[in-house]
């Protein structure tokens, strides 16, 4: 499958892009290369995909979740880090509006 210039123009219109004729040709070439690659991927047998999926965990093992203690042990210690004024256990900020 390949995209025609009219289809590229339609996609550009949906994307609210204004393309000149050179840009349409460039986008057509790039989009067609993407579509061709997807067509190639669709032809890969499903059992080969499963074998790749299984190998990923061997290549990139997941790290184990670890609970690490916080450097700041209390809310008060955290509030002490602020240069702003503290009011009712909260950092005071200026008016937003």
- Residue 26: predicted pLDDT: 95
Given the candidates 2.60.40, 1.10.20, 3.40.5, 3.30.43, the CATH classification of the domain at 5-59 is 1.10.20
Span 19-49, pLDDT tens digits:
999 999 999 999 999 999 999 988 888 877 7
Kindly list the distances between the CA atom of residue 10 and the CA atoms of 35, 38, 43, 91, in Å, as whole numbers in the listed order: 16, 21, 28, 52
Q: What three-state secondary structure class fits 9?
A: helix
Higher pLDDT, 97 or 64: 64
Q: What is the domain partition of the chain in residue ranges?
A: 5-59
Which residues, other chains included, contact 35 with Cβ-Cβ below 8 Å and sequence gap of 6+? Answer: 1, 2, 3
The backbone torsions φ and ψ at residue 91, rounded to the nearest 5 degrees and listed phi first, read -80, 125
């Amino acid at each position: 499958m390949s995209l025609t210039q009219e289809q590229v123009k339609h996609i550009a219109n949906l994307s609210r892009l204004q393309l000149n004729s050179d840009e349409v040709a460039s986008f057509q070439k790039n989009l067609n290369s993407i579509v061709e690659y997807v067509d190639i991927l669709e032809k890969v047998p499903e059992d080969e995909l499963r074998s790749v999926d299984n190998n990923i965990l061997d290549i990139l093992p997941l790290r184990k979740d670890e609970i690490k203690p916080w450097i700041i042990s209390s809310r008060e210690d955290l509030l002490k880090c602020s240069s702003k004024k503290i009011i009712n256990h909260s950092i005071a900020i200026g008016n937003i509006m």
